Structures are given as structure tokens and as C-alpha cells.
């Protein structure tokens, strides 16, 4: 192996280690990856990547909504926050690995495709089905 090849391989290994270290550090500051959304009625949801709820705040005006409408606002706001968390995570990962791939890997596009609106529609249909089964209360 030539000295030039060894040097190139050494730079590749160092760059890869640096990128993996950056990915490992994502867990050190999870709040920078949280997504937050707010409804017009004052439902505020903070969600970690993957959709895990972190915090939910309800304003006085949100509490004036009926139970069903409040539940719908909470779910919709959490969905928005989860999508935002996914976008934030994709942005950070893109910054870490994107340059190494020469732009061949577009993490943002992968996340946009993964946040499949069809899954949200299916979940909404399941909620509607549960409402029908157990009787919708308003």
C-alpha cells in the first residue's frame, strides 16, 4: 500500500470516528432534538424524536373545550410536535453525515417520507372507529 493510500485511509478513518462521535453526542443534549407545537386554543406539546411526549401544557381556553375536542387538539398538536422533532433530528444527522456522502444521502428527505401522512390518517380512522364503538361523547 502506498503512503498516499495510507494517508487517505487514515483521514477516512479519522473523519468516520469524528462523525460517529457526533452521532453519539446526540444523546447528551436530547432537548435540542425536541419538537414543539402549539394549537390556537393553547395546547402546547413537546415531543422527543420518535414521538415520545415530554411535556403537555393546556391553557385555560384549551380547558374550556369539550372533552372530545380537547383530546383531538392534544393529538393533533402532538403529531405536529413529533414531525418537528423528526425534522430537527434529521437536520442534525444530515449535518453530521451528509458531507461525508457528498450529498448522496439526504436524511431530510428520508424523514419527510417516513412521516407518512397516511399513517396519521389511519390513526385518525382508528380513533373514529373507537368513537363509534364506545359512543362519542360531546
**Per-domain residue ranges for the chain?**
28-134
pLDDT at 91 exceeding the cut of 50:
yes
Higher pLDDT, residue 124 or 98: 98
Q: Is the pTM of this model over 0.75?
A: no
Report pLDDT for 56.
Answer: 96
Report pLDDT for 138.
Answer: 42
The conformation of residue 126, written as its DSSP 8-state character, comes to: H
Report pLDDT for 1.
Answer: 77
% of the chain with per-residue pLDDT over 70: 60
pLDDT at 97 exceeding the cut of 60:
yes
Q: Tell me how far apart the alpha carbons of residues 138 and 134 are, in angstroms, rounded to a whole number.
A: 13
Helical ranges in 25-66 per DSSP H: 60-63
Q: Are 80 and 37 in contact (CB under 8 A)?
A: yes
Instruction: Measure Cα distances from 20 to 14, 66, 72, 98 in Å.
Output: 10, 48, 40, 13
Q: Tell me how far apart the alpha carbons of residues 47 and 30 are, in angstroms, rounded to a whole number.
A: 11
> Residues 6 or more apart from 91 whose CB is under 8 A from it?
107, 108
pLDDT at 23 exceeding the cut of 60:
yes
Report pLDDT for 68.
Answer: 94
Helical ranges in the chain per DSSP H: 3-24, 60-63, 67-97, 107-114, 117-134
Q: Are 44 and 38 in contact (CB under 8 A)?
A: yes
Report pLDDT for 11.
Answer: 74
Higher pLDDT, residue 35 or 5: 35
- pLDDT tens column, 69-85: 999 999 999 999 999 99
Q: Tell me how far apart the alpha carbons of residues 47 and 23 are, in angstroms, rounded to a whole number.
A: 20
pLDDT at 137 exceeding the cut of 50:
no
Q: Tell me how far apart the alpha carbons of residues 5 and 11 are, in angstroms, rounded to a whole number.
A: 10
In this structure, CATH architecture of domain 28-134: 2-Layer Sandwich (3.30)
Report pLDDT for 22.
Answer: 66
Amino acid at each position: 500500500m502506498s503512503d498516499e493510500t495510507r494517508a487517505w485511509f487514515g483521514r477516512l478513518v479519522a473523519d468516520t470516528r469524528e462523525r460517529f462521535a457526533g452521532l453519539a453526542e446526540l444523546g447528551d443534549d436530547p432537548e435540542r432534538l425536541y419538537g414543539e407545537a402549539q394549537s390556537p386554543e393553547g395546547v402546547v406539546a413537546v415531543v422527543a424524536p420518535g414521538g415520545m411526549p415530554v411535556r403537555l401544557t393546556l391553557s385555560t381556553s384549551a380547558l374550556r373545550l369539550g372533552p372530545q375536542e380537547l383530546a383531538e387538539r392534544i393529538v393533533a398538536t402532538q403529531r405536529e410536535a413529533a414531525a418537528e422533532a423528526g425534522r430537527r433530528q434529521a437536520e442534525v444527522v444530515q449535518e453530521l453525515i451528509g458531507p461525508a456522502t457528498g450529498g448522496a444521502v439526504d436524511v431530510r428527505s428520508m424523514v419527510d417520507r417516513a412521516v407518512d401522512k397516511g399513517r396519521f390518517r389511519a390513526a385518525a380512522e382508528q380513533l373514529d372507529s373507537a368513537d363509534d364503538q364506545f359512543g362519542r361523547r360531546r
